[in-house]
Amino acid sequence: MPTVAKGDGMRGLAVFISDIRNCKSKEAEQKRINKELANIRSKFKGDKTLDGYNKKKYVCKLLFIFLLGHDIDFGHMEAVNLLSSNKYTEKQIGYLFISVLVNTDSALIRLIIQAIKNDLEARHPVHICLALQCIANIGSKEMAEALTKEIPKLIVSGETIDAVKQSACLCLLRLFRTSPETVPPGEWTQRVGHLLNDQHLGVVTSATSLIHTLAQKTPEDFKPCVQLAISRLSRIVTSSYTDLQDYTYYFVPAPWLSVKLLRLLQVYPPPEDPALRGRLNECLETILNKAQEPPKSKKVQHSNAKNAVLFEAINLIIHHDTEPSLLVRACNQLGQFLQHRETNLRYLALESMCLLASSEFSHEAVKKHMDTVITALKTERDVSVRQRAVDLLYGMCDKSNAEEIVAEMLSYLETADYSIREEMVLKVAILAEKYPVDYTWYVDTILNLIRIAGDYVSDEVWYRVIQIVINRDDVQGYAAKVVFEALQAPACHENMVKVGGYILGEFGNLIAGDQRSSPMVQFQLLHSKYHLCSAPTRGLLLSTYIKFINLFPEIKGQLQDVLRNNNNLQNADAELQQRAIEYLQLSTVASQDVLATVLEEMPPFPERESSILAKLKKKKPNVSDIEVVKEGKKSSNPPTLNNSAANTPEATPASAPVPVMAAAPAPAPVQSASDDLLGLSAGPAAAAPVTNNFAAPAAPAGGGGLLVDVFDTPPAQNNVSTALAPQAEENFFKFAIKNNGVLFENELLQIGVKAEYKGNLGRLGLFYGNKTSYPFQFFTPTVSCPGELASAMNVQTKPLDVNTVEGGAQVQQIINVECIADFVDAPILSIKFSYSGSMQQINLMLPVMLNKFFEPVEMDATSFFNRWKQLSRRPGQEEQKIFKASFPINSDTSRTKLLGFGFGLLDGVDPNPDNFVGAGIIKAQSSQVGCLLRLEPNMQAQMYRLTLRTSSKSVTTRLADLLLKLF
Amino acid sequence: MSPKFTRKGNNGQNYPVCYGEHVLGGGVIRLWCRHQNLCTPRWIVGNYYISIDVRGSTQQVVKMMKFMLLFSRQGKVRLQQWYSATQEKEKKKIMRELITIILARKPKMCSFLEWKEYKIVYKRYASLYFCCAIEKGDNELLTLEIIHRYVELLDKYFGSVCELDIIFNFEKAYFILDELMLGGEIQETSKKNCLKAIAAQDLLQEEADATRNVLEEMGLP
């Protein structure tokens, strides 16, 4: 080898690299690099006569610096200059720099393309090769458009040397991948196919890669290649390793080409011509036979290359999926590899067998290896191999072996790597459901799953077992029995408590006959877990208790004691408190009949409904909780007493305020009872019944933003109120004429608003500032649209990135609103957080009012009066108010207020200069409403006369209401 | 199966993500949780959707090498060749993550691992790790042998190559790789032909150097 060229090529570069390597610290290295960069920069800038060699040297240094991980922002132009050098080495460095460092969207791309074009037409083949290599490595869409025409000529021309043909094939392949439309099929396509017969195996290899990709797009064009490929493959596999000379790799003839040919054949179905098919099968058999021969070398390279071909052959066999004998042979071969000492082979065997398991011909053959795979699962040291074993067990599972495989997976789960537990849990759950031996087995399996890996059992899994138990009455008694037993374990997972609580609440009566599981025992068992559980689970257990009151009237007293316990009745968690109060009331007030109706057994879960909810949730992920509540409301009245009045659809805005205290329980229809009381909705969509209940009281149907105290007399001195915060209303109306400001402030929290509106769209930035020095935890603001507002406005809330607001910190939240139709109420912003252990809740009206979607209009006196007259014909279009001024009358402030409100003020229209005349348009998505205004102040009486005319009665009323508050 | 689990979103909802997929010779079976309705066709099993992308679809996937990395035991990158357009920031992130993962693996572990949408094939030679990213379904064993052939070429060219050779002659290491691989595909598998091409390049360089030396002797820069 010409060793002289090494390092001596550019002495300055070698010195620089040594310097860098001698640097003792990161800082020293950075210093040396900065020095060099300054040097290069000055060289590039100053010295106009920089020769090619020096340019090359500096470009190379820049490249080195870049590869060390530093950013390079100059030198690109010099590199591009090197491309047009006629010295090969300079050109080569130029191309290297371009390939490594230049973005394909660089401004220099035109120059680069021109240089490449020149080189493609060069006399010297090495220059052509450089250009082709560059395209092949970084080819972009622009390059494809400019250069694709030239390449096919090079491939099919008889004059091109082999090395250029090879590069040209891969170059065209790159361009085709980048933008297929620039590579039009033509006469050359056929001739490319014939390259499979080329003398030079390097050319055949490159051509096969190209043909493979082209054939995927237009298989018909390359169909003749099938025959060529088979005969080439046949020649290779039957050749002796000496025949192919340097293309034999460790005694394996042309492994790369073989693999590429086998892959090309996977584009097509098995050949129809029997002779051809026979020949291909012979090839495949030969490859399988060779695997059985003793190795010709002990080197791992030999076995790797041989097996690489074998695995690709097996892929083809699986792809064809028509030759049972080959499939079974492949399976047996892989079976041998399962116990091979090479980890790599065991890994690949497990992986390929997974594919074989899906073929009807080899599925049974794969199943024979179950024991080996189970051993692999237990003994492999590499987690990625164990993962493959899990996959294969999953793949080979069917009715006949499900029980065993699930049992093995369950037992492995106890010691499984944390990284794969969640996936394993899912797989076990799916297998258990797909191939149930019987449903008792299914219930056992899932409960075991929760017992062993409770943390990894997602909600979907335990929802599912409950759905299945509810829908199949033959398994209910058994399920009650086993959950009861499972709960007796001293430490059981919270998910187990959830399932247990739910199932006993529904079917506890089925095992109550046994003294060992009498109602009292069941209750005490569940209640022993109560205090260890999180709030949602406690909520679920409270629901279980009310169901127990219905099922077992004999222990009603004890259950009521629990509900009455101060821990529940005054719980900081509003949900628990509410449930305790309501259930207690329900159990005291309702007769046994009513109770039985309300708490009737769950109806079977309908599959369809949950998917609708899921869809709904998917569509509007941010407002879905509200939608879900609405969904519930439409079908029924929620039985929760406090909410019932506020939530009834008939409760129009006008009927507020409604003092509702836990009066007579509204006997709710059965359906609703199941919706809310059971703490479990039909599907994963309504995963959190807790939020359902929360959303409801947070959205009182109060009219005109009036303060509605839902708890007229609070049942206990709780710090969680569902009513609007004090000053909420006053602050709210301030925002009628401004967009930015403080919406709320108390000793803990300040909420600032910045808003902008355009047309029917608005964007609000809310800034939550923690005024204390302690963090707010579980900080969750939610926005809901009460009542009719939901259909008049779209609100999208971006969830906060964090749920903790540190002391003194501020977090921002963006809310987008879209006005669909005119509206009266404001969306409710409900903020919950925990401050030094106690839950806080603040309900506010989001300062979004109708006039925010107002656009001022300019018009002259004539058109104003024309419209003014037009708008007086129908009743309701005009609203006139005469009222006493709340603020001192001042012409300038009035003007500012009206402009801030959104009106365009029309001067000189009204003969009296003290009066104001304005016009504007309300832009809602569904309609646009024109509005005209006249405001006449009377200084002496400190009174105003306000006249509004619009085309819509509701708009007139609302705007008049808002304006009244301003003057 | 490649695990891609759902995680709870910020607002506590479960966001739908593919739970896992199973690549077959001619298709992909994917498992989705019930929220997902992007995939067709699908079957419902409990709370899961199963979708099957029909035969042929995986074959449309290009099976090429995505990138090759050489890095030292200290985690220093010595060579990187990217065969598909990638943002510089993304490259750095990928390299950082991969190097950490591979350096943490024990010697006897298998040379393949699934990582993101790639299959990583790596092997250690003395102080250097050679690492390639290929598509799932591509031939892992043969990728190992591409690495080996490259090492052989370097070894033959530099005469028992060591890490220093690659540091000081990094541009050569690139040129040799370009003879072996092009655009993520193998170009020339014959060792003899590759070395012949490199030798021809060096010959051209020597000619250039000779002219320069003459000029330098004459006192010109």
Interface pTM, i.e. ipTM: 0.77
Which of B142, B169, B182 lies closest to A167 in CB terms? B182
Instruction: Read off the pLDDT band of B14 (50, 70, 90).
Output: very low
Strand partners, A796: A816
pLDDT at B42 over 70: no
pLDDT at A605 over 90: no
Q: What is the 3-state secondary structure (H, E, C) of A220-267?
A: HHHCHHHHHHHHHHHHHHHCCCCCCHHHEECCEECHHHHHHHHHHHCC
Find out whether A780 and A833 touch, Cβ atoms under 8 Å: yes
Q: Is A296 annotated as a binding residue?
A: no
Q: How far apart are CA A719 and CA A838, in angstroms?
A: 8
Burial tier of A886 (Cβ tally within 10 Å: 0-12, 13-18, 19+) = exposed
Q: How far apart are CA B181 and CA A131, in angstroms?
A: 15
pLDDT tens-digit map of B160-200: 999 999 999 999 999 999 999 999 999 999 999 999 999 98
Strand partners, B134: B65, B119
Q: Is A169 annotated as a binding residue?
A: no
Q: Which of A134, A155, A268, A355 to mutate to test the interface with B (most CBs of B within 10 A)?
A: A355
Contact residues, chain B, for A138 at CB < 8 Å: 85
Q: How far apart are CA B198 and CA A66, in angstroms?
A: 24
- Does B57 touch chain A if contact means CB atoms closer than 8 Å? no
pLDDT tens-digit map of A805-822: 888 888 888 888 888 888
How many inter-chain contacts (A to B, CB under 8 Å) are there? 268
Q: What is the 3-state secondary structure (H, E, C) of A399-418?
A: CCCHHHHHHHHHHHHCCCCH
pLDDT tens-digit map of A223-273: 999 999 999 999 999 988 778 889 999 999 999 999 999 999 999 999 999
pLDDT at B221: 45
The answer to whether the Cβ–Cβ distance between A202 and B193 falls below 8 Å is yes
Q: Which of residues 61-80 of B touch A (CB under 8 A)?
A: 62-64, 77, 79-80
Alpha carbon of A89: minimum distance to chain B alpha carbons (Å): 6
Say which amino acid occupies A748.
L
The answer to whether the Cβ–Cβ distance between A201 and B190 falls below 8 Å is yes
Contact residues, chain B, for A94 at CB < 8 Å: none
The answer to whether the Cβ–Cβ distance between A343 and B108 falls below 8 Å is yes
pLDDT at A410: 92
Distance between first and last Cα of chain A: 96
pLDDT at A633 over 80: no
Q: Is A768 annotated as a binding residue?
A: no
Cα distances from A414 to residues A191, A389, A390, A448, in angstroms, run 61, 16, 14, 10
Which of B63, B187, B189 lies closest to A167 in CB terms? B187
| Helix %, strand %, coil % of chain A (to 5) | 60, 10, 30
pLDDT tens-digit map of A326-336: 999 999 999 99
Q: How far apart are CA A879 and CA B41, in angstroms?
A: 58
Instruction: Read off the pLDDT band of B220 (50, 70, 90).
Output: low
Q: Is A61 annotated as a binding residue?
A: yes
- Does B42 touch chain A if contact means CB atoms closer than 8 Å? no
pLDDT tens-digit map of A140-198: 888 899 988 889 989 988 888 999 999 999 999 999 998 888 888 788 888 899 999 99
Find out whether A470 and A430 touch, Cβ atoms under 8 Å: no
Number of DSSP helices (H) and strands (E) in chain B, helices first: 5, 11
Q: Which of A106, A147, A246, A302 to mutate to test the interface with B (most CBs of B within 10 A)?
A: A246
pLDDT tens-digit map of A827-882: 888 888 887 777 788 888 888 888 888 888 888 888 888 888 877 767 777 888 88
Alpha carbon of A935: minimum distance to chain B alpha carbons (Å): 47
Cα distances from A472 to residues A426, A484, A598, A659, A687, in angstroms, run 22, 19, 22, 44, 22
pLDDT at B73 over 90: yes
Q: Which of A65, A165, A387, A460 to mutate to test the interface with B (most CBs of B within 10 A)?
A: A460
DSSP string computed for A785-837:
--TTHHHHEEEEEPPPS-S-B-TT-EEEEEEEEEE-S--SS-PEEEEEEEETT
The answer to whether the Cβ–Cβ distance between B10 and A803 falls below 8 Å is yes
Contact residues, chain B, for A458 at CB < 8 Å: 6, 14
Farthest-apart Cα atoms in chain A, separation: 117
- Does B113 touch chain A if contact means CB atoms closer than 8 Å? yes
Alpha carbon of A435: minimum distance to chain B alpha carbons (Å): 11
Contact residues, chain A, for B6 at CB < 8 Å: 458
Percent of chain B with pLDDT over 70: 66
Query: Would you say the C-alpha torsion A571, A575, A581, A583 has a positive or negative sign?
Result: negative
Q: Is A23 annotated as a binding residue?
A: no
